[in-house]
Structure 1
Amino acid sequence: MEILRVRWSKEDRRAQKWRTMIDNFDSWRMGKKATRFRNRVRKGVPDCVRAKVWQMLMGSTAMMEREPNKYADLVASDLPVEGPIEEDIPRTMYDHELFCRKSRVNGRDMLRRVLTAYGRYDREVQYCQGVNYITSLFLLYMPEENAFWMLVATMNRPCAPLRELFLPGMLKAQEFQFVMDSLTKKHCEKLSNQILAHNLTPAMYATQWFLTAFTQRFPYDLVTRVWDMFLLEDWKVFYRVCLALFKSVEGKAAALDLENLNLLLRNMPPNVDAQQILDIAASIPLKHRHIGKRVALFGDFNANKK
Structure 2
Amino acid sequence: MVNHNLTIFNEVLNGGTRHWLALRTGTMKNSANSSVNDGAEDGKKDSGSLDSRFNQTLKSVQGLLKGRSFPGKVLLTQRSDPLDKSGIHGSPGGFGRSFSTNDDKPSEQGDYPVEARLEEFQSTNNMSTNINLNKSKPLVPNMDNISRESETATTSTRATDSARVMKFKKELSAPTVILEKLRELAWSGVPPYMRATVWRLLLGYAPPNSDRREGVLRRKRLDYLDCVAQYYDIPDTERSDDEINMLRQIAVDCPRTVPDVTFFQQAAIQKSLERILYTWAIRHPASGYVQGINDLVTPFLVVFLSEYLEGSIESWSVLDLPQEKITDIEADCYWCLSKLLDGMQDHYTFAQPGIQRLVFKLKELVRRIDDPVSRHMEEQGVEFLQFAFRWFNCLLIREFPFQLVTRLWDTYLAEGDALPDFLLYISASFLLTWSDKLLMLDFQEMVMFLQHLPTQNWTDQELEMVLSRAYMWHTMFNSCPSHLAS
- Provide TM-score, normalisation by structure 2: 0.52
- 2:361 and 2:158 map into 1 onto residues whose CA distance is 43
User: Is contact 2:303-2:406 (8 Å) kept?
Assistant: no
Identity across the alignment (%): 22
- 1:225 and 1:290 map into 2 onto residues whose CA distance is 29
AA of the residue aligned to 1:113: R
Match of 2:336 in 1: 150
Q: Does 1:240 align with 2:425?
A: yes
Q: Deviations over 1:240-265 (max 9, x none)?
A: 21011122100122222223222322
Q: 2:253 aligns with which of 64, 88, 92?
A: 88
Distance change in 2, residues 1:51/1:67 (3 Å): closer
- 2:480 and 2:360 map into 1 onto residues whose CA distance is 13
Report deviation, 1:279: 2.9
Match of 1:278 in 2: 467
Q: Does 1:11 align with 2:163?
A: no
Distance change in 2, residues 1:10/1:185 (3 Å): closer
Match of 1:301 in 2: none
Q: Deviations over 1:90-110 (max 9, x none)?
A: 10012224312xx3x721111
Distance change in 2, residues 1:291/1:255 (3 Å): same
Match of 2:392 in 1: 210
Structure 1 SS opposite 2:336 = helix
Q: 1:43 aligns with which of 161, 171, 188?
A: 188
- 2:437 and 2:221 map into 1 onto residues whose CA distance is 53
Report deviation, 1:177: 1.6
AA of the residue aligned to 2:292: G
User: Is contact 1:241-1:278 (8 Å) kept?
Assistant: yes
Structure 1 SS opposite 2:171 = helix
Q: Does 1:141 align with 2:303?
A: yes
User: Is contact 2:391-2:399 (8 Å) kept?
Assistant: no
- 2:294 and 2:273 map into 1 onto residues whose CA distance is 8
- 2:362 and 2:195 map into 1 onto residues whose CA distance is 29
Q: 1:200 aligns with which of 336, 360, 382?
A: 382
Distance change in 2, residues 1:132/1:17 (3 Å): same
Q: Does 1:258 align with 2:443?
A: yes
Q: Deviations over 1:10-42 (max 9, x none)?
A: 826243432222123866433xxx4xx544323
User: Is contact 1:179-1:291 (8 Å) kept?
Assistant: no
Report deviation, 1:48: 1.1
Report deviation, 1:73: 1.9
Structure 2 unaligned regions, length at least 5: 1-155, 208-215, 305-328
Match of 1:74 in 2: 227
Q: 1:127 aligns with which of 265, 270, 289?
A: 289
- 2:183 and 2:482 map into 1 onto residues whose CA distance is 22
Report deviation, 1:201: 2.4
- 1:283 and 1:8 map into 2 onto residues whose CA distance is 21
Structure 1 SS opposite 2:433 = helix
Report deviation, 1:176: 1.1
User: Is contact 1:188-1:246 (8 Å) kept?
Assistant: no
Distance change in 2, residues 1:9/1:68 (3 Å): closer
User: Is contact 2:280-2:334 (8 Å) kept?
Assistant: yes
Farther off after superposition, 21-30 or 163-172: 21-30
Farther off after superposition, 163-172 or 281-290: 281-290
Structure 1 SS opposite 2:397 = coil
Q: Does 1:164 align with 2:309?
A: no
User: Is contact 2:399-2:453 (8 Å) kept?
Assistant: no
Report deviation, 1:127: 0.7
- 1:204 and 1:26 map into 2 onto residues whose CA distance is 46
Q: Larger C-alpha radius of gyration, 1 or 2?
A: 2
Match of 1:99 in 2: 264
- 2:282 and 2:434 map into 1 onto residues whose CA distance is 42
Distance change in 2, residues 1:198/1:250 (3 Å): same
- 2:221 and 2:177 map into 1 onto residues whose CA distance is 28
User: Is contact 2:380-2:442 (8 Å) kept?
Assistant: no
Distance change in 2, residues 1:292/1:117 (3 Å): farther
Superposition CA RMSD, Å: 2.8
Distance change in 2, residues 1:179/1:250 (3 Å): same
Structure 1 unaligned regions, length at least 5: 1-6, 298-306
Structure 2 SS opposite 1:265 = helix
Structure 2 SS opposite 1:164 = helix
